[in-house]
Amino acid sequence: MTKTVEKTDALDLERKFSKIKPLLKSYEASVEASRCLFCYDAPCINACPTSIDIPMFIRQIMSRNVEGSAKTIFTQNILGKSCGQVCPTEVLCEGACVYNAMNEKPIEIGRLQAFATDYAIKKNIRFFSKGKKTDKKIAVIGGGPGGLACAHELTRLGHEVTVFESAPNAGGLNTYGVAPYKYSNKESQEEINYISQIGFEIKTNHKIDSKSLSELEKKYDAIFLSIGLGKSNKLNIPGENLKGVYGASEFIHELREKEQKITVGKNIIVIGAGNTAIDATVETSKLGANVTVVYRRTEKEQRAYYFEVDLAKVHSARFMYLTTPIEILGKEKVEGLKCIKNNLKFEPIKGSEFVIPCDMIISAVGQEKMVDFYKNISGLKIDSGKVIVNKDFQTSNLKYFAGGDCVNGGKEVVNAVSHGRDAARGIDRFLMEKVSS
């Protein structure tokens, strides 16, 4: 039995999109913290792209020094709160926890990290301040996690920083990309306010084009590119322009912007089996749709993490593997998806075409790289759409540094944070060495 999703009332939405990993209570946090073995040269630290001293911050929670714990986290990762909640901890820190080798539940590092950082943000306990003024000005293009981390670190080092963000709000993926049952708009905004009060400016609704870019080049001593990725990739099959066909990142952007107060179809097909595809699957399922995931290869090849796929299955999503979409059917509006079955070599099986009726399609087969934008920057070397940087995150155009998705092609929030932080140090070395020599 299905029914068209009407505007679900706010309370119901709140319940459906409540945190899958709720904030720990103080007592829960100390019980969990006391389980930590305090490993030497702990594998969890090595598994964290920002190398947070995890055993130490957990020990500080155990000794009820939550403020000190937050400081330990923020010293390495100023976006420690969102990372604690949106990181795929199962394959990072928690995946490396030695308890796994004992067949015991790993320490809930992500939730402990969220607990400590939430404490500091709610109480607005500030650990860092603006460094001694250097008279250097840096523009950060893109106010996502990488840009914010870079801007914060640069400000600590004494530079004057302006962040340019094209969207109405900063935060990037944290605000417009990750699943709302992991991180809410409110939390993202609180985190941005907490970080930026160190003293850098964020200009939102400020899209940078070729003209404004050349102005930035004149006005600023260095520019950090943290522009992420572009639009969702096209499927390149007939019928793609029909009403009811969405790109996954655009769909999620709208969902986040409207705080889930949107109407979706009743029978939805999600194409692709990466983490974004699964996010869209779970989100639309929560909004009441029957969702079918169509993927051309098998469960083994799918890029989504196993725990994300499990979550989709809990939400009754149906998975059709070895299935390639070949045509979107419909007059004005999408009415079905014509597919063909593949063999185990992923080759289409002749005559196996079939149609899945649907009223909405979300295509989640990756995002475009921002190659058009890169054309505006002289001498900028790119490889398969990714900006090439050295270990200081400096590009082939020495004025430009870059980090995050535009460098790694699209990874986790925590990778972007690590890039942003380290790029800031690279920028500082570059600008200050010039001063001293």
Partner 1 sequence: MPNLESNFAGIKSPNPFWLASAPPTNTGYQVMNAFKAGWGGAVWKTLGQPIVNVSSRYGALSYKSTRMMGLNNIELITDRSLEVNLKEMKEVKEKFPNHALIASMMFEKKEEWHDCIKRCEDIGVDGFELNYGCPHGMCERGMGSAVGQNPDVCEKITSWVTEKATKPVIVKLTPNISDITKPALAAQRGGANAVSLINTINSVTGINLDTMDPNPTVSGLSTHGGYCGPAVKPIALNMVSELTNHPDFKLPISGIGGVETWQDAVEFFLMGASTVQVCTAVMHYGFRIVTDLIEGTSGYLDSHKMHSVGELCGITAKKLKKWEELDLNYKVIAHIDPEKCIGCQLCYIACEDGAHQSISVIPGQRVPMIKEDHCVGCNLCSLVCPVDTCISMVKIETGKSKITWKDHPANPLAKVKAF
Residues interacting with partner 1, by CB under 8 A?
A: 30-31, 34-35, 37-43, 62, 98-99, 101-102
Judged by beta carbon, residue 46 or residue 378, the one nearer partner 1 is: 46
CB nearer partner 1, residue 66 or residue 139? 66
Of 11 and 101, which CB lies nearer to partner 1 in the complex structure? 101
Structure tokens at 281: 């699957």
Burial classification of residue 258, based on how many CB atoms lie within 10 Å of its CB (0-12 exposed, 13-18 middle, 19 or more buried): exposed
The DSSP line for 181-222 is: TT--HHHHHHHHHHHHTTT-EEE-S----HHHHHHHHHH-SE
Residues in the chain: 437
Task: State the Cα–Cα distance between residues 84 and 116, nearest whole angstrom.
Answer: 10
> Closest distance between partner 1 and the C-beta of residue 60, in Å?
14
The residue (of 98 and 320) whose beta carbon lies closer to partner 1 is 98
Residue 24 Cβ vs partner 1, minimum distance, rounded to whole Å: 13
Q: How far is the CB of 31 from partner 1 (least distance, A)?
A: 5
Q: 97 or 312, CB closer to partner 1?
A: 97
CB neighbours of 296 closer than 8 A, spacing ≥ 6? 322, 323, 324, 342, 346
Closest contact distance (angstroms) between CB of 322 and partner 1 is: 38
Task: Tell which residue, 415, 412, 406, has the closest CA to residue 86.
Answer: 412
CA 406-407-412 angle, to 5 degrees, is 80
Task: In angstroms, give the least distance from the CB of 41 to partner 1.
Answer: 6
SS3 content of the chain, % helix, strand, coil (to 5): 40, 15, 45
CB of 57 to partner 1, least distance (A): 16
Report the distance separating Cα 157 and Cα 100, nearest Å.
Answer: 39
Identity of the amino acid at 136: K
Cβ proximity to partner 1, 101 vs 435, nearer residue: 101
CB 388 within 8 A of CB 395: yes
Residue 407 backbone dihedrals phi, psi, to 5 degrees: -100, -45
CB 93, min distance to partner 1, A: 14
CB of residue 313 to partner 1, shortest distance in Å:
30
Planar angle of CA 434, 421, 375, nearest 5 degrees: 70
Shortest distance, position 7 Cβ to partner 1, whole Å: 45
Minimum CB distance to partner 1 smaller for 58 or for 282: 58
Residue 98 or 125 having the CB closest to partner 1 = 98
Which C-beta is closer to partner 1: that of 20 or that of 31? 31
| Of residues 12, 14, 13, the one with CA closest to residue 22 | 14
**For residue 353, what is the enclosing H or E element?**
none
